[in-house]
A and B are shown apart, each in its own frame.
Chain A
Amino acid sequence: MLIVMKNQEPQTKSAAIPLCSLDELPLGLGRAFNVEGRSIAVFRTRKGKLFAVDNRCPHKNGPLADGMLAGDQIVCPLHAFRFDGVTGECDQPGQCAVQAHEVTESDGIVSIRLVGSGR
């Protein structure tokens, strides 16, 4: 499957990969997983939304999984850069977005589809 993102080459999406059960994700926080050699941060908001991004802030490689949530924004724990959990976009003009992934839940099992090659 192909997703075309603005200004980027078309990106591939992996098959769904089961990650964990829903209650293994802390409420209102994130958790890091190693999937296909990529570190991924998965979040579960208090309102029940799930989202996932590369666990590496484009600014200085901060571990986003340790960040706080501000609504649907992920706040990097190192220098408080903010990224939209769904699109991965940074709220700072000119700052890189973080790669977002597709995450779903069914019967209490959380699965992820990785977007892009991780390069």
Chain B
Amino acid sequence: MIRPQKQKLVILGNGMAGARTAEEILQRAPEAFEITIIGAEPHGNYNRILLSNILNGTQTADEITINSIEWYKQNGIHLIAGAPAIGISLAKRTVGLLDGRQIPFDKLIIATGSRPFVPPIPGIDLYGVYTFRTLEDCSSIAKFAKKSKVAAVIGGGLLGLEAAKGLMTHGPAVHIVEMAPHLMAVQVDSAGGAILGKTIASLGAIAHTNKATAEILSDAGSRVRALKFKDGSELACDMVVISAGIRPNLELAKEAGLATERAIVVDDQMLTGDPDVYAVGECAQHRGKCYGLVAPLYEQCKVVADHITQANPGATYTGSFIATKLKVMGVNVASMGERDELPADEVVRYQEPDAAGGGVYKKLIIRNNKLAGAILVGDTEAYEGLAEKMKSQAELPRRRAELLFGAPTECSAEFSLASMPDDKQICDCNGVCKGKIVEAIKAGKTTVQAVGKATRAGTGCGSCKKLVKSLIEAVAGEVKADPAEAFYVPAIPMDKPALTAEIRNRGLRAVSQVMEALATKEDEKSKMGLAILLRAIWGKEYIDERDCRFVNDRLHGNIQKDGTFSVIPRIYGGVTTADELLKIANVAKKYSVPTVKLTGGQRIDLLGIKKEDLPAVWKDLNMVSGYAYTKAFRTCKTCVGSEWCRFGTNDSTALGIAIERKFQGIETPAKVKMAVSGCPRNCAEATCKDVGIIATEGGEWEIYVGGAAGVSVRKGDVLCRVKSQVEAIRITARFMQYYQEHARYLERTYDFVPRIGIEKLRAVLIEDSEGIAAALDERVQRYLDAVVDPWVEDTKSAGGEGVYPGQFAPVRTVTLPVLATI
């Protein structure tokens, strides 16, 4: 069959707009075009918003990549990366490259973006002067900054502050030079700018406003020596980063004869004057406006895709509502609409320049009882509601304070989530609205990550993740009637008590038996959850199939991003000895352990151990596993206690050590961390542990359960007070067993305790209202009796070869069969 030849589509520019347009087109018509993308930078497409994280070293280039080189291949896109274009010929329908190639097109999308504006001042070409726009810029700046003592950033806008923040992490003293009377002049007014400047000064960067740079001065060897300002003053520095705004890359379009003003002029279909040539992103000028933010740019990409594929020939772009919320140098800043009020406007202003943790400034401009503009510095909680009011031009509440501080009801947050319209945009970076997210949640995406994968919400700057999480909580609450919610594991439609009974009745002792008999599908989480349950039910009779374990539980270490493992031996109660430290040190030296780190749980982490070295490392350590890699009891953190501390009222280390000895090796539905503090000062932070015990003045112990200080922060609930260590351990054990038997897989105690209710836990565990206390005590002991240290077990098995083929084997190199002569 002869297929009609595909149209040749060339996208000129491989930045956030170019690649995104390609994605949008592929979504609508994967087979319609033969796509070529031309990019000046020599790699795939990355998230430029996150460049400051590259500069400050918190993310790697890989991590901010949106589309890897493989992605282009996979989608049949021909990527020409690192080959700058030098001309567009509308007559010949070609794009000319620097290397002489002519790339033909039927349709062309210009997405050339912009470049940093470099002010025409003397000294701009000195050694030590940089612009801040690309991955390459970031690595050059980072490298130079490490040797720099004083760095100056020209430009106190958003990008300039981002650059300043990145520079500070590398050591130099950082100065920010801004021509306008205050920082971030585009987003905030002078009062807000003053408060912002104060907060930023407290972080260690010095801002100089009202300063126009006249010249960059050099030393004898054309290195930067100082900035000279128009007022005659100077600022000594050895490095300069220029961030004085951007200029659209419009030259290619202009030379080709397309209409340009400040940028390439486009109509409501993002078309230039040529019916086959579009322009999108920072290089485009629509209805007199140029946009430099990602949200409008993505809206434009959609219109181009709708129009070029004819998926929606009537699609129009009518401009974007600009509201920004960002975090710059750790300070939250948001703005929308107008920055400065007119004389007749009503202005609502709140300011708290010396608030703990940085100044707060809020300003609303109200015109005809509608919101005309808003600025928030330091606290941007009110942003969502204000953006909504601004966008819909709704009448405002008579109590203006409600706009800034929320309505005076207890559950206002939830209420506003529920009443939020479906088309309310949640992720401003990717233009994802509430309806789409709710749809994904209802389809079973119940983590922020899963929602992100399904909808892209939260995958840009990440600032909407909190809102996504609240939505998940709200919606998952709405669909709680779904019986799957109550299943212990997703693959088997039974709650935990029913499943446990079924397993007991049928005598199912292996995960594969349970899956065979009861499962409706197979997934790895169910296998992992069943493995824990079966071990708890059968103890020594459990048939342990290693393929039901996550890699961490097969190799008894936490897998790291490079495929090596971390080894954390148990250090009971965080109390060690010189001999033990020597053993660990010797192992670290013998195996050239790249990183040795003290953990938050008062232990020592050996990071970067190769799989094949694990058994030998364990043997040389001759210590037991700290279970730092799995759903189990982890550690018991302690303070020094009455043995040494002059405030200690009881022996917290002794109790902590006893607890670790008792509970080592107990697997649980989710990880369990404990702590014991020797006095109410609570230096071991016991109130935010799954189980925390605090000594009281009268020599008693107070037991807290359900505390957390991770993704969630929750103060534990007081379960009871006991008089002795023995009692404390007995109650803890009883709680552990009850948690073990009633919690869903992966349900942490901070969810479990509130779900069951502390009153009920007290009744069952302390007052023995159900008469099961003795049975719980007996079952937990039986479990603990069956525990074998996994490091010892797996090192011994098969003479160190592992319990299954290849468990600890290095990658086997296969030699090729020798070929007969040709």
A38 CB to nearest chain B CB (Å):
10
Q: Which of B507-527 contact A (CB under 8 A)?
A: 512, 521-524, 527
What is the 8 Å Cβ interface bit string for chain A, positions 76-97, against chain B (1 contact, 0 not)? 0110100000000000101011
Q: Assess A77 versus B817: contact at CB under 8 Å? Given A7-B74, A69-B524.
A: no
Q: Residue of B at shortest CB range from A19?
A: B814
Map CB proximity to A onto B526-561 as digits: 1 under 8 Å, 0 otherwise: 011000000000000000011111110011000101
Specify which of A17, A23, A26, A67 lies most central, judged by the most chain B CB atoms within 10 Å of its CB. Answer: A26
* Pairwise interchain contact A71-B62, C-beta atoms closer than 8 A: no
CA distance A36 to B813 in the complex (A): 8
Q: Whole-angstrom distance from the CB of A4 to the nearest CB of chain B? A: 13
Nearest CB to that of A99 among chain B residues?
B70
Check: A102 CB closer than 8 A to any chain B CB: no
Min Cβ gap B103→A in Å is 19
Which residues of the other chain, B, contact A66 by a CB distance below 8 angstroms?
Answer: 551, 555, 559, 563
Among B73, B547, B550, B817, the one with the most A-chain Cβ atoms within 10 Å of its Cβ is B547
Q: Residue B75 at the A interface, CB < 8 A?
A: yes
B481 in the interface, Cβ–Cβ < 8 Å?
Answer: no
Q: How far is the CA of A68 from the CA of B817 in the complex (A)?
A: 31
Across the interface, B804 reaches (CB within 8 A) one of A26, A62, A78, namely: A26
State how many angstroms separate the Cβ of A107 from the closest Cβ of chain B: 16
Does B806 lie within 8 Å of A8, measured CB to CB?
no
Given A7-B74, A71-B522, A25-B551 contact (CB < 8 Å): no
Q: Contacting A7 at CB < 8 Å: which of B75, B559, B804?
A: B75
Closest chain-A Cβ to B610's Cβ sits at a distance in Å of: 12
Complex contacts, B75 vs chain A, CB 8 Å: 7
A63 in contact with B563 (CB, 8 Å): yes
Across the interface, name the chain A residue whose C-beta is closest to B563. Answer: A63
* Residue pair B805, A92 in contact (C-beta under 8 Å): no
B811, A26: Cβ atoms closer than 8 Å: no
Q: How far is the CB of B744 from chain A (nearest CB, A)?
A: 19
From residue B453, how far is it (CB to closest CB) to chain A in Å? 6
Residue of A nearest to B491 (CB): A70
CB distance from A7 to the nearest CB of B (A): 4
Name, among A7, A32, A46, A68, the residue most crowded by chain B CB atoms within 10 Å (CB to CB): A68
Residue B76 interfacial (CB < 8 Å): yes
Q: Is B812 an interface residue (CB 8 A)?
A: yes
Contact B547 A77 (CB under 8 A): no
Q: Say yes or no: A17-B547 contact (C-beta < 8 A), given A26-B806, A96-B71.
A: no
Give Cα A11 to B54, complex, Å. 37
Q: Are B70 and A96 in contact (CB under 8 A)?
A: yes
CB atoms of B523 and A70 under 8 A apart: yes
A17-B817 CB under 8 A given contacts A77-B559, A94-B23:
yes
Q: Are A77 and B551 in contact (CB under 8 A)?
A: yes
Collect the chain B residues with CB atoms within 8 Å of residue A62's CB: 563
Min CB distance B177 to A, Å, is 39
**A46→B563 CA distance, assembly (Å):** 25
A12-30 vs B, CB cutoff 8 Å, 1 = contact: the mask equals 0001011110011111110
A117 CB–B CB distance under 8 Å: no
Q: How far is the CA of A46 from the CA of B550 in the complex (A)?
A: 16
Q: Which residue of A lies closest to B545 (CB)?
A: A28
Residues of A within 8 A of B222 (CB): none
User: Which residues of the other chain, A, contact B528 by a CB distance below 8 angstroms?
Assistant: 68
Contact B551 A68 (CB under 8 A): yes
Chain A residues with CB under 8 Å of B551's CB are: 66-68, 77
B59 at the interface (CB under 8 A from A): no
Contacts of A94 in B (CB 8 A): 23, 71
Assembly CA distance A66 to B817 (angstroms) = 27
A8 CA to B183 CA in the complex, in Å? 51
Contact of B811 among A34, A67, A78 (CB under 8 A): A34
**For residues 610 through 627 of chain B, which have their beta carbon under 8 Å from a beta carbon of chain A?**
none
Chain A residues near B682 (CB, 8 Å)? none
A31 & B806 in contact (Cβ 8 Å cutoff): yes
| Interface contact A27-B812, CB-CB below 8 Å | no
Q: Are A71 and B521 in contact (CB under 8 A)?
A: yes
Known: A35-B814, A69-B547, A71-B522. A29 touches B559 (CB 8 A): no
Interface residues of B in 769-822 (CB under 8 A from A): 804-807, 809, 811-814, 816-817
Interface string of B558-583 (1 = CB under 8 A from A): 01010100000000000000000000
Q: Which chain B positions have C-beta within 8 A of A46?
A: 512, 547
Query: Would A18 and B812 count as touching, CB distance under 8 A?
Result: no
* Interface presence of B68 (CB below 8 A): yes
A29 B550 Cβ-Cβ under 8 A: no
B436-468 contact mask (Cβ, 8 Å, vs A): 1 or 0: 000000000000000001000000000000000
B68 touches A58 (CB 8 A): yes
Contacts of A58 in B (CB 8 A): 68, 70
B contact residues around A32 at 8 Å (CB): 806, 811-812
Given contacts A46-B547, A66-B551, contact A25 B814 (CB under 8 A): no
> Given A24-B805, A33-B812, A8 and B547 touching (CB < 8 A)?
no
The reply to whether A39 and B811 contact each other, CB–CB distance below 8 Å, is yes
A6 to B68, CA, bound (A): 19
Asked, given contacts A96-B70, A96-B71, whether A68 binds B812 with beta carbons under 8 Å apart, the answer is no
Query: 1/0 per residue B222-246: CB within 8 Å of A?
Result: 0000000000000000000000000
* Given A17-B816, A19-B814, A20-B812, also A70-B70 (CB < 8 A): no
- Least CB separation from A41: chain B residue: B811
| Nearest A residue (CB) for B515 | A46
Residues of B within 8 Å of A35, CB to CB, are 813-814
Check A29–B804 contact: CB distance below 8 A. Answer: yes
> Which residues of chain A come closer than 8 Å to B62, judged between CB atoms?
60
Interface 0/1 of A47-75, CB less than 8 Å to B: 00000000000101011001111110001
Whether the Cβ atoms of A78 and B814 lie closer than 8 Å is no
Q: Which of B68, B75, B550, B806 has the most CB of A within 10 A?
A: B806
Residues of A within 8 A of B559 (CB): 66, 77-78
Residues of A within 8 A of B547 (CB): 26-29, 46, 68-69
Q: Give complex CA distance A31, B806 in Å.
A: 7
Q: Complex formed: what's the CA distance from A98 to B638 in Å?
A: 47
B550 touches A77 (CB 8 A): yes
Instruction: Kindly list chain A residues whose C-beta atoms are within 8 Å of the C-beta of B453.
Output: 92
- B contact residues around A29 at 8 Å (CB): 546-547, 554, 804
Question: Which one of B76, B524, B561, B807 lies within 8 Å of A68 (CB-CB)?
Answer: B524
Cβ-defined contact, B561 with A78, below 8 A: yes
Residues of B within 8 A of A70 (CB): 522-524, 527
Contact residue among B74, B523, B545 (Cβ-Cβ distance under 8 Å from A97):
B74
Give the chain B neighbours of A92 by CB distance below 8 A: 453
Taken together as a complex, chains A and B put the C-alpha atoms of A82 and B433 apart, in Å, by: 27
Query: How far apart are A17's CB and chain B's nearest CB, in angstroms?
Result: 6
Q: In the assembly, what is the distance between CA of A63 and CA of B381, in Å? A: 41
Say whether A96 contacts B812, CB under 8 Å: no
When distances are taken between beta carbons in the complex, the residues of chain A under 8 Å from B545 are: 27-28
A33: which B residues are within 8 A, CB to CB?
A: 811-814
Least CB distance, B509 to chain A, in whole angstroms: 16
Measured between alpha carbons, how far is A50 from B743 in the docked complex, in Å?
A: 36
Q: 12 A-B residue contacts at CB 8 Å?
A: A15-B817, A17-B816, A27-B545, A28-B545, A28-B548, A33-B811, A34-B813, A58-B70, A60-B561, A66-B563, A69-B524, A96-B73
- Beyond A25-B805, A26-B807, A94-B71, 17 additional contacts (C-beta under 8 Å) are A17-B814, A18-B814, A20-B812, A26-B546, A28-B545, A28-B547, A31-B809, A32-B811, A33-B814, A60-B62, A60-B561, A66-B551, A66-B563, A67-B551, A77-B559, A78-B559, A92-B453
Ranked 9 nearest A-B pairs via Cβ: A28-B547, A7-B76, A68-B524, A34-B813, A26-B804, A31-B806, A63-B563, A71-B522, A66-B551
